[in-house]
Structures are given as structure tokens and as C-alpha cells.
């Protein structure tokens, strides 16, 4: 950034900062306002050459995105907290709490034994609540590839948690002179 850009950015902060804060104040708790405004201006600083002049509309649009990200983050934290609280309550209140804890530990150990890519596939869907297509986007792979990975992960997890009931493999079909049978 040049000196003139620095001055222009500082002027936008002085002039538009209160307007962005007023917008943000309508959408987040008072304790979060300054964080959202600061993040908005950090984004503007990083892309100052691309920010249109006057910048107020761009700044408010950026603040709106920061608010949305903040809300999603809060919802995820709240959902995680609620799930953990439910798990804790279920583990403490049942007669078989010891058995539940043992089963949970066995499931976690089996999950830890999976290859990283398979474990991640299961967790994105089961824990993070993503659809297979969204999980594939997160991993940067095709949806079909993700479905195969998740299927293999579930099969491996089943094998790890049910040693008394191994899956039966499909019979091998040999190649013939004419191709596959």
C-alpha cells in the first residue's frame, strides 16, 4: 500500500467505521461489535486495491459476511456444547453407565484406528452434519469418490467393532477370455 492508500484507508476507518459499527450493532451482541468491525476492516485492508470508492457499501457487505460467519460459528459451538451435554447426561444417568462408557471408548478407539482420510470422511458427515456432496467439497474430491471413501470407512469401522461378525467378501470372479463375467 502506498502512503496515499494508507491515508485513504485511515480516512475510511474514521469516516465509515462508525457507520459499519451501527450496522453491526443491529446484528450481534454488544460485546462482539468491535470484533466484527475490526475483522471487516482487516478484510478491507487486505484487499484495499479492490475495494470500490466510496467503500461504505463494500464495508457493510463485508460486515454482513463477518456477522454470518460469526453466527454460524456460534451455532456450531452451541450445537457441540448441547451434544456434549447430552452425551454426558446419558453417560451419567443410565444404570449401565459403565457399559456405555466402555462402548464409547471402544468406538473412539476403532475410529482412531481408521486411516486419516476415512476417519475424516465419517466425521464430516456424522459429527459436522455435512451432506456427502458438501463433505466432498471440503475435501476437494468428487462426490462419488467421497461416497466410496465413506463406504469403505463404514465397512472398516464395522470390521473393527464387530470382530465376531466379519463381513463376507463377494466371491472372486476371474477374468475370462471374453472379458469380465
pLDDT at 85: 73
Q: Are residues 106 and 67 in the same domain?
A: no
Instruction: Print the domain residue range for 48.
Output: 3-73
Q: What is the pLDDT of residue 98?
A: 59
CATH at residue 47: 1.10.1740.10
The x, y and z cell numbers of residue 94, run together, are 443410565
Distance (Å, whole) CA 159 – CA 172: 20
Instruction: Classify the phi-psi angles of 142: left when phi > 0, otherwise alpha if psi is within -120 to 50, otherwise beta.
Output: beta
Is residue 179 left, alpha or beta, with left meaning phi > 0 and alpha meaning psi from -120 to 50? left
When pLDDT is cut at 50, 70 and 90, the band that residue 172 belongs to is: very low
Count of structural domains within the chain: 2
pLDDT tens figures, 119-135: 888 888 887 778 899 88
Query: Which band of pLDDT confidence, cut at 50, 70 and 90, is reported for residue 89?
Result: low
C-alpha to C-alpha distance for 44 and 59, rounded to whole angstroms: 7
**pLDDT per residue over 33-56, tens digit each?**
999 999 999 999 999 999 999 999
Q: Outline where DSSP puts E strands in 51-174.
A: none
Amino acid at each position: 500500500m502506498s502512503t496515499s492508500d494508507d491515508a485513504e484507508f485511515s480516512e475510511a476507518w474514521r469516516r465509515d467505521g462508525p457507520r459499519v459499527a451501527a450496522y453491526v450493532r443491529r446484528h450481534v451482541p454488544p460485546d462482539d461489535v468491535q470484533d466484527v468491525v475490526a475483522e471487516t476492516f482487516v478484510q478491507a485492508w487486505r484487499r484495499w486495491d479492490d475495494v470500490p470508492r466510496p467503500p461504505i457499501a463494500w464495508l457493510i457487505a463485508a460486515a454482513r459476511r463477518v456477522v454470518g460467519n460469526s453466527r454460524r460459528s456460534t451455532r456450531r459451538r452451541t450445537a457441540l456444547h448441547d451434544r456434549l451435554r447430552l452425551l454426558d447426561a446419558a453417560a451419567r444417568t443410565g444404570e449401565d453407565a459403565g457399559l456405555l462408557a466402555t462402548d464409547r471408548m471402544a468406538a473412539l478407539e476403532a475410529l482412531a484406528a481408521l486411516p486419516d482420510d476415512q476417519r475424516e470422511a465419517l466425521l464430516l458427515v456424522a459429527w459436522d452434519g455435512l451432506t456427502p456432496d458438501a463433505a466432498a467439497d471440503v475435501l476437494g474430491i468428487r462426490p462419488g469418490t467421497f461416497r466410496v471413501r465413506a463406504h469403505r470407512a463404514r465397512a472398516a469401522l464395522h470390521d473393527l467393532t464387530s470382530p465376531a461378525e466379519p463381513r463376507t467378501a463377494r466371491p472372486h470372479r476371474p477374468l475370462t477370455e471374453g472379458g469380465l463375467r
